Structure 1
Amino acid sequence: MNRIDVHHHVIPPFYRDALAGAGITAAGGRALPDWTAEAALEMMDLLRTATAIMSVSTPGTSFLNDTSAAVELAQRLNDFTAELRAVHGDRFGYFATLPMPDATAAAREAARVLDNGTADGVVLLANSNSEYLGTGGQGELWRALDERGAVAFVHPAELPAPEVEGVPPFAADFLLDTTRAAYLLVRNGIVRQYPDIKFILSHAGGFVPYASHRMAIAIAADTGRSILDILDDFRSFYFDTALSSSLAALPSLLAFAEPSHILFGSDWPFAPVVANQYFANGLDTGVDAANLAAINHTNAQVLFPRLAGAPITTSAERPVVRLRHTTQRAVARALFKLVQPGTN
């Protein structure tokens, strides 16, 4: 399938230790999964993924109150992932971690990794310590990214509000967090003022495709702008398919997004193997061949020209994993048991 995975996480041992030192053992309500480069490559081969663009998930460096400590950790994370890319060639790329919410420090680190050519873009949490993307004081960062025509991967974080008992953040809050950031980036004119930044929204943009017209009406009433122009701004985003290529979600994404703006995403290792199989199968069986090729790799190759025409290699010859329709229900049951371990 020659997939390029733009939503693929990395959890270096020293980062896990730093989180544990701050009392953090989970992200989005899920325990931090195990991660090794070898396991990542094995999963990539299973799904026929040629290249994974790695990123650090929430909380990034935002759990550190000291900016200098956040900068140091961001640099260490970026140097680690740059080394993985150097060792494994076209199998890995990475989105650089930035020490947000300090926009000045983030702009400096973005310039460092983008100018030295090691990073494929940057990852930005939808909110860092309650400060959302698209709000005031972030101009220095946007200018740095726009001048470099950077790709900015927007990933959700915990909402700046108490959790609701029984609702793990990854299940619903994450989708709202991404949607809030997208709304503010459009409402406050960031996507128009900095048109050379290519924003990728995680998980099919959260609620953006489904609620885009409703949000456009609200922004138009608030700003006096044309609803059609606002919808164009929402369509300027790129959207990944991580955990979002189901029979319910995929049609909404395909109906709203520009065909050239949909990218493959897995959310590994936070999304386990069975989930990756389930959603990859939804993509393989729910999209025609031409659009499937575009989603799997052609659209990403436009964003990441270094991957255009790169030879596709795998760590081992493994069969393509495609689930037959007769087994999809069994996989769905296995996925349900995985997230509800007490269920029979």
Structure 2
Amino acid sequence: MSRTGLVDVHAHFVTDGYVAAARAAGVDHPDGMPGWPGWSVERQLDLMERGGIAKACLSVSSPGVHFGDDAAARALAREVNTFGAGVRAERPDRFGHFASLPLPDVEGALAEAAYALDELGADGVAVETNHHGRYLGDPSFAPLWAELDRRGAIVFVHPTSPPAADAVALGRPRPMLEFLFDTARTASDLLLSGVLARHPGIRWILTHGGGALPLLADRIELFRPLLEGAALGAATPAPGGGASTPPAPGTVEQFGRLWYDMAGTPFPRQVPALGAAFGTERLLYGSDYCWTPLEAVLAQIDSVDAAAPPAPGATWRDLTSRNARRLLAPRTR
């Protein structure tokens, strides 16, 4: 019996120009890793054939495109987005593309999002869990979320090193632990700042099964009323009163509306924890290639295929691919 082709929403590319720009900015060991990976369309397709991946949505990973200068970041975002869109256009049956944004430059990000989505045909946009220490609930990002909400856009949230990473990572590669904590940190910031409730049209994707989020959701909910009460107490009432704002849904309910990929080590513990917390109706497949080496990706796929099925007569391939088709289906405005 033929196996269902996976839809990979967490696949990365690099270009020579991108790596050169990063190295010129002093980034020789991104996020504490030994160096930069290589990538080509041919190697990507070889992985896809060997792993049974029908389609891969390409994006640029951490550390993103902003190395300290807004103008340079805008130019680099346009460069990598034009490249990614070209790969997608040449093989639309095999590739999708999430466009890079030059955050924390919000004006530049708005312009690049419009260009990428309207002119390049990107499937969505990619952001990092924090941009130079600004997490995604930062008020400065509000215009971007409003526009992406209006568009019903997909926003792929990739983890990156937290502020003071050298102090907390203890000299170890940050993808091992810090990426997983930073995903939970930015998700909680989106929740507690009200971004998730205000912008229900955005289709957020969190990576690596939400990182530590499934284990922390109940603890966040424990503190949420206290934090919201403090915020209300600090707010200045509107003149003449007025209707009160209805309470936002609970933490687990809001997090359950997000999408999650299974990049990393999905079985035997990651996906079951995610499913117990938020369900699997928005679970997606992710390889994390090219930052995860080919043999490790193939071993991960073997673990997915060997795992106990999510339901009788179904497979994790069936489930995640069905979910991905639902997520990626075009929306009209």
Runs of at least 5 residues in structure 1 that lack an aligned partner in the other structure:
307-344
Task: Please report how far the alpha carbon of residue 276 of structure 1 lies from its aligned counterpart in structure 2 after TM superposition.
Answer: 1.2
State whether structure 2 residue 62 is matched by structure 1 residue 58: yes
Runs of at least 5 residues in structure 2 that lack an aligned partner in the other structure:
230-245
Aligned counterpart in structure 2 of residue 67 of structure 1, from 70, 89, 96:
70
Q: Which residue of 1 aligns with 2:298?
A: 277
Aligned counterpart in structure 2 of residue 215 of structure 1, from 220, 223, 231:
220
Aligned counterpart in structure 1 of residue 325 of structure 2, from 301, 312, 315:
301
Could you tell me the TM-score, scaled by structure 1's length? 0.84
Q: One-letter code of the match for 1:69?
A: A
Indicate how the Cα distance of structure 1 residues 180 and 210 shifts in structure 2: closer, same or farther if over 3 A, else same. same
Q: CA separation in 2, counterparts of 1:141 and 1:295?
A: 32
Task: Please report how far the alpha carbon of residue 59 of structure 1 lies from its aligned counterpart in structure 2 after TM superposition.
Answer: 1.2
Assess if the C-alpha contact under 8 Å between 1:245 and 1:280 holds in 2: no
Task: Please report how far the alpha carbon of residue 220 of structure 1 lies from its aligned counterpart in structure 2 after TM superposition.
Answer: 2.4
Q: One-letter code of the match for 1:129?
A: H
Assess if the C-alpha contact under 8 Å between 1:100 and 1:128 holds in 2: yes
Task: Please report how far the alpha carbon of residue 226 of structure 1 lies from its aligned counterpart in structure 2 after TM superposition.
Answer: 7.0
Q: CA separation in 2, counterparts of 1:171 and 1:291?
A: 28
Indicate how the Cα distance of structure 1 residues 241 and 72 shifts in structure 2: closer, same or farther if over 3 A, else same. same
Assess if the C-alpha contact under 8 Å between 2:217 and 2:251 holds in 1: no
Q: Which residue of 2 aligns with 1:247?
A: 268
Q: Which residue of 1 aligns with 2:114?
A: 111
Q: CA separation in 2, counterparts of 1:131 and 1:222?
A: 20
| Paired residue total | 305
Task: Please report how far the alpha carbon of residue 274 of structure 1 lies from its aligned counterpart in structure 2 after TM superposition.
Answer: 2.5
Assess if the C-alpha contact under 8 Å between 2:161 and 2:182 holds in 1: yes
Q: Is the deviation greater in 18-27 or in 136-145?
A: 18-27
Q: Which residue of 1 aligns with 2:46?
A: 42
Q: CA separation in 2, counterparts of 1:103 and 1:291?
A: 41
Aligned counterpart in structure 2 of residue 33 of structure 1, from 28, 32, 37:
37
Q: CA separation in 1, counterparts of 2:142 and 2:162?
A: 23
- The DSSP-based 3-state class of the residue aligned with 1:153 is strand
Q: Which residue of 1 aligns with 2:240?
A: none
Q: Which residue of 2 aligns with 1:331?
A: none
Q: CA separation in 1, counterparts of 2:134 and 2:308?
A: 37
Q: One-letter code of the match for 1:201?
A: L
Q: CA separation in 2, counterparts of 1:298 and 1:266?
A: 17
Q: Is the deviation greater in 229-238 or in 20-29?
A: 20-29
Sequence identity, in percent? 35
Task: Please report how far the alpha carbon of residue 294 of structure 1 lies from its aligned counterpart in structure 2 after TM superposition.
Answer: 4.2
Q: One-letter code of the match for 1:12?
A: T
Indicate how the Cα distance of structure 1 residues 102 and 227 shifts in structure 2: closer, same or farther if over 3 A, else same. closer
Indicate how the Cα distance of structure 1 residues 90 and 166 shifts in structure 2: closer, same or farther if over 3 A, else same. same
Q: CA separation in 2, counterparts of 1:226 and 1:258?
A: 23
Matches for 1:187-226 after TM superposition, within 5 Å: 187-224=192-229
Q: Which residue of 1 aligns with 2:191?
A: 186
Indicate how the Cα distance of structure 1 residues 245 and 162 shifts in structure 2: closer, same or farther if over 3 A, else same. closer
Residues 102-143 of structure 1 show CA distances to partners (whole Å, capped at 9, x for unaligned) of 122111211111123510000010011111111111111001
CA RMSD of aligned residues (A): 1.7
Q: CA separation in 2, counterparts of 1:237 and 1:220?
A: 21
Q: One-letter code of the match for 1:275?
A: A
Assess if the C-alpha contact under 8 Å between 1:217 and 1:227 holds in 2: no
State whether structure 2 residue 86 is matched by structure 1 residue 83: yes
Assess if the C-alpha contact under 8 Å between 1:264 and 1:295 holds in 2: no
Task: Please report how far the alpha carbon of residue 79 of structure 1 lies from its aligned counterpart in structure 2 after TM superposition.
Answer: 0.6
Task: Please report how far the alpha carbon of residue 304 of structure 1 lies from its aligned counterpart in structure 2 after TM superposition.
Answer: 1.0
Runs of 4 or more above 3 Å deviation = 224-228, 293-296
Q: One-letter code of the match for 2:189?
A: L
Q: One-letter code of the match for 1:297?
A: S
State whether structure 2 residue 141 is matched by structure 1 residue 142: no
Indicate how the Cα distance of structure 1 residues 228 and 98 shifts in structure 2: closer, same or farther if over 3 A, else same. closer
